[in-house]
Amino acid sequence: MEARAPARRAWNWRSRAARGLVYQIVAIALIGAAVWFLASNTQRNMEVRGIQSGFDFLGQAAGFDIGETLVAYDPSQSYGRAIVVGVLNTLRVAVVGIVLTTILGVLVGVGRFSRNALVRGLCYGYVELFRNVPILLQLLMWYLVFVEVLPQPNEAWNVAGLFFLSKGGFAFPVPVWGLGQGLAAVGALLGIGVGWWWRRRAQRQFELTGQDSNRWAVPLAAVFGGALVGWIAGGAPTAWSIPEPQAFTVEGGASATPEFMAVLVGLVMYTAAFVAEVVRGGIQSVSHGQTEASSALGLSRGQTMRLVVLPQALRVIIPPLTNQYLNLTKNSSLAVAIGYPDVVSIANTTLNQSGRAVECIAIIMLVYLTTSLSTSALMNAYNRRVAIKER
């Protein structure tokens, strides 16, 4: 029996695929023409009015200071360097905020199903309070708490004389960086790789045999063990920089400014309320029969939630959770209201000094577009990975 040749697509107007391709080409052409018209028209009008344009200003000296930086910066450096500092400050808030928001939101969302009435009530009250107050007001409230309510640095609240909280921000000890710390970081990264491999192996074993092993003990041991081996190989350094309260500031160690703390706490508390509702809705979407079946098999409530309910709820949770991550990142632009030097604040200062309004706004748009698309791509990849594959 002869094998049939694969059917060829009929590339004519009656073909749905052909019409779809033509429509997409036409749409892209129209969008491109519109962008070209707007750009050329803007450029022509700016030239008529004698307004300078272009991105050459990024190489000029900025001339202004930035109060909080993750990389070295001084006013003699360029506008481009200043904007890089702002982008890093924005990413700092976004990344740390997403991690803390996920932890807090999941805990509150799961707490809504607690058998303890007090826990349920507190979780419900938290959600209703923080999601119904505008985020800008919450940022201003937290900023006032950090600069007005907290004590002066010389009277800072402290824990064991190591962690200090005051109007100057949050100060904490850090190791004096050297070879030992660098090798410890490398060892911890290798441990993360080993832990990832172990968790995948444990998941495959669970799917094949139904026997669930501890998926956290070995990864944690690998991370801490790798860091310990690297630290010992680097000479086992023990030098630490310890914060010490002074009259007007806390010197030594590392610190987070009141502006950063206000932005971070405000965004986390606000967004976690929405994440909690997303988690609650995802858990409620799982049939109650799954819980009853788990109980019949002898699983505890914790095992039922971790092994049965949450894996099925993830397909409902991930898409709206991605939206909340995007909202947190974009809401970080409100940090300009309390003086945190994010990319919006620094771009506004650059705009006022250089007069390049279109270029500065375009840079801000590009930064948030890039971060949003990157976050969406990562979450979509994770969504495909955890999706339930039905037979």
Beta strand pairing status for 157-159 and 163-166? antiparallel
**What would the pLDDT profile of 43-70 be if each residue is shown by its tens digit?**
777 777 766 677 888 888 888 888 888 8
Rounded distance between C-alpha atoms, residue 141 and residue 273, angstroms: 17
4 — pLDDT class (breaks 50, 70, 90): low
Rounded distance between C-alpha atoms, residue 168 and residue 139, angstroms: 17
Q: Are 349 and 336 within 8 A, CB to CB? A: no
> 134: buried, middle or exposed (CB in 10 Å: 19+, 13-18, 0-12)?
exposed
More confident residue, 300 or 91: 91
Q: What is the pTM of this model?
A: 0.81
**What would the pLDDT profile of 213-234 be if each residue is shown by its tens digit?**
677 788 888 888 988 988 888 8
More confident residue, 309 or 280: 280
Non-local (6+) Cβ contacts of 176 within 8 A are: 237, 239, 240, 241
Rounded distance between C-alpha atoms, residue 355 and residue 361, angstroms: 11
Rounded distance between C-alpha atoms, residue 120 and residue 122, angstroms: 6
**What would the pLDDT profile of 298-350 be if each residue is shown by its tens digit?**
877 777 887 788 888 888 889 899 999 999 999 999 998 988 999 999 999 99
Give me the sign of the Cα torsion angle 307, 310, 316, 322.
negative
**What would the pLDDT profile of 281-293 be if each residue is shown by its tens digit?**
988 888 888 888 8
More confident residue, 13 or 288: 288
**What would the pLDDT profile of 95-151 be if each residue is shown by its tens digit?**
999 999 999 999 999 899 888 999 999 999 999 999 999 999 999 999 999 988 888
pLDDT of residue 388: 63
277 — pLDDT class (breaks 50, 70, 90): very high
Q: What angle do CA 307, 310, 315 make, to 5 degrees?
A: 125
Distances (CA, A) of 168 to 86, 228, 334: 21, 33, 21
Rounded distance between C-alpha atoms, residue 183 and residue 189, angstroms: 10
pLDDT of residue 10: 56
Is 3.40.50.720 the CATH number for 58-134+259-391?
A: no
pLDDT of residue 391: 54
CB atoms within 10 A of CB 224: 14
Q: Are 324 and 376 within 8 A, CB to CB? A: no
The strand pairing partners of 163, in sequence order, are 159
**What would the pLDDT profile of 345-371 be if each residue is shown by its tens digit?**
999 999 888 888 888 898 999 999 999
Q: Are 186 and 200 within 8 A, CB to CB? A: no
- DSSP state string for 333-364: GGGGGGT---HHHHHHHHHHHH--HHHHHHHH
pLDDT of residue 196: 87
**pLDDT over 50 at 1, yes or no:** no
**What would the pLDDT profile of 188-217 be if each residue is shown by its tens digit?**
999 899 888 888 888 788 777 767 667 778
pLDDT of residue 11: 65
Helix locations, the chain, DSSP H: 16-48, 79-111, 117-131, 135-144, 179-209, 217-233, 258-284, 288-296, 301-303, 310-331, 343-354, 357-386
pLDDT of residue 129: 93
Q: Tell me, what DSSP letter sits at residue 54?
A: S
pLDDT of residue 161: 83
Domain definitions of the chain by residue range: 58-134+259-391
SS3 of residue 299 by DSSP: coil
Q: Are 110 and 283 within 8 A, CB to CB? A: yes
More confident residue, 377 or 12: 377
More confident residue, 274 or 47: 274
Q: What angle do CA 5, 9, 11 make, to 5 degrees?
A: 145
SS3 of residue 21 by DSSP: helix
Distances (CA, A) of 253 to 44, 116, 157: 53, 41, 16
